[in-house]
Every structure is written in structure tokens, then in C-alpha cells.
Structure 1
Amino acid sequence: MGSTEQAAEDFTGRLGVRVRDGQRPATYVLAVTGELDHDTAAPLKEALETHVTAERIVVDCSGLRFCDSTGLNVLLRSRLRMAESGGRLDLAGLRPPVDRMFEITGALTVFRVYADTAAALADAPAAEEA
């Protein structure tokens, strides 16, 4: 799989989404930076919809400073859509303010969450380990 990278930013510049090849078949890393809320969710939603048929998406949240219920719902909906086709959406690098929101809402129980993107990509699904 060749190296691919795409970037998208909303009109306010408050949210950035960079998509790159996860170096595994049908795996993508979406690095999210800034603030994810009602006004800025469109670039992430678009990137997730574009890659919803992937086997796996790892959302790198290490650059995410804020996430409200809109952002959480975008991630939850995408996780469900991917699961319906056998894919999975994982999170990596949750920072304290974002991690706390995921903890309070119970969302941490439905996502696989990794310390960072490297740890997420090192955790290969069972089919890849064989």
C-alpha cells in the first residue's frame, strides 16, 4: 500500500484532520488536532465517511484539545457503521480533557483506546497475527 496523506481543515482553522496510511492493509490513521465541536466536526465526519469501508481506522487524538457531544456522536456513529461491515474504529492518545469526557459518558467502554498511535498499530487484529 502506498503512502497517502490528506489534510482537511474547517473554515475557522480550529480543527485539523490529517489522514495517512496505517502501514497495514486497509488501515488508516486520522490525526485530529484542535477543537472538535458542533461548528468544526465536518472535516472529521467527511474523513470518516470517506474511509468507512476500511478494515480499521485509528483516530489519533493526541492533538485534540476539546471534544463535545457532537464530536463524540460522530465517532460513535462511525464506529457502528464500521462494525456493521466487520471493521473497527479505535482511539489513541486521548488527552486529559477529552479522556475525561469519554469517561463520564461511558464511551471508553465501547472503544478500544491506546496510549498512542504506535501502540494501536502494534496491536494487530488476530487475523493479521496468524
Structure 2
Amino acid sequence: MASSGPAGQAVLVTECTGVFVVLLQGTFDHQRDLDLLDMALEAGHLTAKQVIIDLSRTKDLSARMLNTLLRQRHRAGSLPWLAGPLSAPVTRRLEITGTLKHFTVFATLREAAAHNRDQ
């Protein structure tokens, strides 16, 4: 599942043992990008695997993108894990909105996957 927009936006999905990874790249201001992210999150939920959002290639986190991620708590019963390294603007958005404390955040995707294996 991948989408490329004019500014290089992309949602790439990878399924590994025990985890469902959604790699985000670029910014997500177009509704079709947000719809694609929403579909990827729903697909991850249906696998019953831990969903990890890889934000290492995302420079900013729009309010609409954050809302799409937060809706997963109502749909799936839990939030996806976030993997970085997170950029300063992404971290700032999470801190300013008070949502950082609600997400499980890992420094890297590898660290998140290893934590999932250890559970």
C-alpha cells in the first residue's frame, strides 16, 4: 500500500513477525493521504499485531495527521506505537497538544520491534 503525492508523501506498510509497521514520509495535508493513513491503521488493527508508526522520515505532524492517529484509541482500543527518531517539530506538536504522554514512543523502529518481541 503506497501513495506518492506532489511533495513526496508516502504511506508504506510492512508486516513483520508480531508487528505491523506504517512508515510515513513527508507531510500529510491532503485528504487522500489522511484517508490512506487511516486505511493502513485499520488494516494493522485487523491483523491483531502491534501497529508501529515509523515517523523517522516525517518532518512535521499536522493536527489532522495527529487526529487520525488518535482516533485509533476509539477504533482499536489502543494507540499505535510511535518510532523515531522524532524530529523536533513532531516532538513539539506532541508536547504542545499534551498527547505525547498517551503514546508509547521508541527512539527507533528496531527498538520498538525488539520491545514487542520481548513482551
Q: Quick check: which has more Rg, 1 or 2?
A: 1
Q: Same fold (TM over 0.5)?
A: yes
- Equivalence for 1:90: 81
- Deviation string for 1:50-109 (max 9, x for gaps)? 2222231000000011221100000000233222xxx65100102111111011101111
Unaligned segments of structure 2, at least 5 residues: none
- Please identify which structure carries the higher strand content: 1
- Equivalence for 2:73: 79
* In 1: Cα distance, 2:64 partner to 2:34 partner: 7
* In 2: Cα distance, 1:37 partner to 1:13 partner: 10
* In 1: Cα distance, 2:73 partner to 2:55 partner: 15
Aligned residues: 116
Matched, 1:106 2:106: no
Unaligned segments of structure 1, at least 5 residues: 1-6
What is the RMSD of the two structures over their aligned residues, measured on CA atoms?
2.0
- Please identify which structure carries the higher helix content: 2
- Equivalence for 1:4: none
Superposition deviation, residue 9 in structure 1: 1.2
Matched, 1:52 2:45: yes
